[in-house]
Amino acid sequence: MADVTTTVHWNGELSFTGKNAKGHQTMFDGNTREAASPVEILLEALGACMAVDIVVVLEKSRTPATRIEVTLEGDRHSPEPRYFTAARPRFDVWGDGIKPNAVARALRLSLTKYCSVFHSLRADLVLQASYRLHAAGAEAAGEYLDLDISAPTDELIEPTAA
């Protein structure tokens, strides 16, 4: 039996509706007139998957986030197939009492252990994650910090500015 089942229905032109086993629907549009393209949704899925991991890891460390936003950029191979060669997720994390090294640890755990979307992509994908930390209710500001993925997940290091 499959772990995940979903159905995609063609609506005409390049428009599709995906529906999972619980009935939740996602719209796709290859022309990007009425919905995001499948490629954009793949990039969004990467950001959402990593953000879920950050939420869970920070909650377990008793310093929960109050808000998270992810902006993603991706580079694609040319010519076809136009797979992603690089992805650059930038995370803005809000919360009180969260230390930068806790966010770095959560991101490293996401990329090395938990994020199923990341591990489903090509092994040669170059991922360059960065993040900023903000007090709850504050405006987003400041420099992004680059994630050092090579650092051990149990070692709390102070990140360097991007």
Do 52 and 121 lie in a common domain?
yes
Asked if residue 111 has pLDDT above 80, the reply is yes
Residue 24 is part of which domain span? 1-36
Owner of token pair 């509706």: 17
Q: Please tell me the pTM assigned to this model.
A: 0.90
Do 6 and 55 lie in a common domain?
no
Report the interhelical angle of 38-60 vs 100-109 (nearest 10°). Answer: 120
Cα separation, 75 vs 43, in Å, equals 10
Asked if residue 86 has pLDDT above 70, the reply is yes
Domain tally, the chain: 2
Q: What is the CATH number of the domain that holds 77?
A: 3.30.300.20
Q: What angle is formed at CA 11 by the lines to CA 10 and CA 12, rounded to 5 degrees?
A: 95
Q: What is the CATH number of the domain that holds 25?
A: 2.20.25
Has residue 158 been placed in a domain?
Answer: no
Looking at residue 110, the DSSP 8-state letter turns out to be I
Has residue 128 been placed in a domain?
Answer: yes
Asked if residue 150 has pLDDT above 90, the reply is no
State how beta strands 126-127 and 145-146 pair.
unpaired
What is the mean pLDDT of the segment spanning 20-43? 97
Do 50 and 114 lie in a common domain?
yes
Asked if residue 148 has pLDDT above 80, the reply is no
| Average predicted confidence (pLDDT) for the chain | 93
Do 5 and 67 lie in a common domain?
no
Provide the β-strand partners of residue 130.
90, 146
Residue type, 97: G
Do 114 and 44 lie in a common domain?
yes
